[in-house]
Structure formats: structure tokens, C-alpha cells
Amino acid sequence: MTYCVGLFLDEGMVLLSDTRTNAGVDNISTFAKQHLFQREGDRAIVAMTAGNLAVSQAVINLIQEGVLHPDTGQVETIFSVHSMFAAAALTGAAVRQVYRTYGPTMQEQGVPFDVSILLGGQLAGRTMRLFQVYAAGNFINATPDTPFLQVGEHKYGKPILDRAVTPETPLSDGVKLALISMDSTLRSNLTVGLPLDLTVYRKDSLELATWRITEDDAYFRELRCGWSDALRAAYKAMPSPPYLPWRSTEGP
């Protein structure tokens, strides 16, 4: 299992994924589930994948090696596209190509064709964007109304994001919230695991800042303990429910 989350904030983006299923692919800055595509001063793109690993890897390879554009007849890659929208369309085309190749056989063998991709980034002079590409190759993008997207095991980590993430959330707070969201997932689903891959992108910088967060990461350990303590303190501080004491013999 996997959990990937992307925050789409006014200041930039926070992209966080776990690594429990290790991908074996070894190409440009490839982390387990986070794949970085950078060219200095030109583009900074991150793809995070969830779902069937063979499908994910095939898609990530295809967008680097090239997919034939159905209209122009040109081969496009993640380094040749001229916008994030085109990057999302390219990724969707790669997903459909993989589906055409392997989908029928997988279906016959009862293996679901399951892949979801978060694709965030910016090209020089263009708008920063964050997309979610589905298994049909279609996609949506994050908006101010929905300033975060998640793929994989997303439910445990959603409540804190629902409550706290707005476009105005500073990047630093966004990192905290993404890590808290991940921590909730790690605690509740053992198939999501450390280390974590974190990429922070400051809008218009065209530079990806990445970290690998391991078990030994002092800040993440402090955050996990501190957050549990804070939650316990917070619920303790809530007023007592009026439904008790007993309406029966114990009466108020």
C-alpha cells in the first residue's frame, strides 16, 4: 500500500509519499514513489504514484522515453512538454498506452488495472499546477477549493487536512500538516511505512527541495509524539458531554 499527498498552496507545494513498496527503477532522481524531473531554469516536476507497481513504473518510464501524440504525430516526453497541463495529458496518454498493452491480460488474470498519479510542478513562465491522473488517463487538478490531493490509502490522513489546509497555509505549516496526515496513516495502516520522501516546491523557484525522512529523523519523531500529546490535551480540554450523568437511578 501507499500514501501520497500533495498540498497546493499559494506559496508553493508540499509533496509527501511513503516508501514501503520499493520501486526498483533507477533513473533521474527516482525515489520509491516520488519521481523528480528537473531541468535548471526550465522545469521542476514531481510525480508520485500509487497502485500496481509494474503499471506505475511503466508509466514513469514512458513519460521519459516518449509517447506519440495522437494529433501531432510527434513523440513527447516529460522534458519536451510546454506546460503542466500537457504534462498531465502526456501522463494520461502513457497510462492508456500501458492499459492497452497489459490491461486485457491483467483483467483475464483477475489483477485490477490500478494506478493513480499525483503530478505537480511548474515550467518557466507558466503556472504552478497539481494534477491527479486516474487509471483511465483522465485527470483533475487541485484548486483553491480543494488545495490538496491524495492517492493510495488516503482516508486516515484526510480529516486533519480537511480541517486545516487552505491556500493561505504557509509552506512550513504545510509540511507539518502533510507529516501529521502521514503519521495518522502510518499508525492506522501498517502497509504504509517509513522512510518518507518529502519534496517542497516554492512557487516560481523552478527548484525542488527534497528530503528523505527516516525513523531516526529527530523532527518527525518529535512531531509524532507532540501531536499525540496535543490531541489528548485537546480532547481533554473539550467540555464534558451533557448526556451524562445518568438519567436513571444515578440521576443528576
Listed residue (4, 99, 80, 69) closest to 37, CA to CA: 80
Out of 101, 112, 114, 187, point to the residue binding a second copy (CB under 8 A).
Answer: 187
Q: Which listed range, 58-66, 108-116, 140-148, 206-214, lies at the site for a second copy (CB under 8 A)? A: 206-214
Out of 4, 13, 177, 192, point to the residue binding a second copy (CB under 8 A).
Answer: 177
Q: Is 194 in the site for a second copy (CB under 8 A)?
A: no
Cβ 154 vs Cβ 172: under 8 Å: no
- In the bound state with a second copy, the residue whose beta carbon lies nearer, of 65 and 168, is 168
Grid cell, residue 148, equals 490538496
Return the amino acid letter for 178.
Answer: A
Count of residues making up the chain: 252
C-alpha span between 94 and 77 (Å, rounded): 10
- In the bound state with a second copy, the residue whose beta carbon lies nearer, of 114 and 162, is 162
Footprint (CB under 8 A) of a second copy, residues 220-239: 222-223, 226-228, 230-239
Q: Is 175 in the site for a second copy (CB under 8 A)?
A: yes
SS3 13: strand
Q: Is 142 in the site for a second copy (CB under 8 A)?
A: no
Q: Is 48 in the site for a second copy (CB under 8 A)?
A: no
C-alpha span between 227 and 170 (Å, rounded): 19
Burial class (CB within 10 angstroms; exposed 0-12, middle 13-18, buried 19+) of 115: buried
Contacts with a second copy by CB under 8 A lie at 155-160, 162-164, 171-173, 175-177, 179-180, 184, 187-188, 198, 200, 202, 205, 207, 209, 211, 219, 222-223, 226-228, 230-244, 246-250
